[in-house]
Amino acid sequence: MKLSELVDYTGQLLQVERYRDYCPNGLQLEGRPDIHVIVSGVTASMALLERAAGLGADLVLVHHGYFWKGEDARVVGIKRKRLKFLLENDISLAAYHLPLDAHPEFGNNVRLADLLEFNIDGWFGEQSIAAHGVLRQPMTLGELGRSITEKLAREPMLVGDPHKNIRRVAWCTGAAQDYLELAVALGVDVFVTGEVSERTVHIARESGVAFIAAGHHATERYGIQALGEHLSQRFGISHHFVDIDNPV
């Protein structure tokens, strides 16, 4: 499989041109032209790159790549080490951020909904990447927290009465805590995301809408894995998902 063909296909699949993003989506670093092995992961950390090289990766596929808006453009320190490693090993890096969050089949929010048994009624937020809907099985906030602990293998932080009945839910993976007020306006019972800020707790308490911080990494493991599996099946190439643990 040619790298250029794989990147073109993935860009069209995820409709990357639709999104205004904080980083370039698609190929971020070009390695060898032929792809036989893909390694996917949430973030292009050095730990992931080293594991990928050990697995013989031709392409590293991630949700969080490099060259973020506003970051120092100089290639020094950690950035230099990561780029040097990829270049020396002739490994390509491709990253898909907001397009992967929002995709209706392989997206982080769709995959999290399936795992947590949320039905999707609609989309909201910046570029419509967040979702809202209902629980397939109504439960209390405490019961939902325990379900998330079991399914994500990480105990979430809950803000709200654990006995509160939950039916309507809104969610957005990653660092979407500032979508809470939009979720409040939708009239949901709880908003689920990855991270929390100090101000978030006060908004949840004063609005009466419960809040769950389930982990940035923990909520975003599933989209990139699904995308890697799809590319593997479609093009007959090997795929390995590597989960580099992150407590955030």
Which pLDDT does position 122 carry in this prediction? 98
- 185 with 179: CB under 8 angstroms? no
Global pTM exceeds 0.85: yes
When pLDDT is averaged across residues 82-88 and rounded to a whole number, the result is: 98
Which pLDDT does position 139 carry in this prediction? 98
**Cα 99 from chain centroid (whole Å):** 10
CA proximity to 65, closest of 12, 29, 103: 29
Place of tokens 């893909």: 38
Residues β-bridged to residue 165: 140
| Number of C-beta neighbours around residue 246 at 10 A | 16
Q: What is the pLDDT of residues 95-110, one digit of tens each?
A: 999 999 999 999 999 9
Q: What is the pLDDT of residues 215-237, one digit of tens each?
A: 999 999 999 999 999 999 999 99
> How sure is the predictor about 177, in pLDDT bands with cuts at 50, 70 and 90?
very high
- Residue 179 tokens, joined: 């979508």
Residue type at 206 in one-letter notation: E
SS3 45: coil
Domains of the chain and CATH, by start? 3-96+221-241 (3.40.1390.30), 102-216 (3.40.1390.30)
Q: What is the pLDDT of residues 56-79, one digit of tens each?
A: 999 999 999 999 999 999 999 999
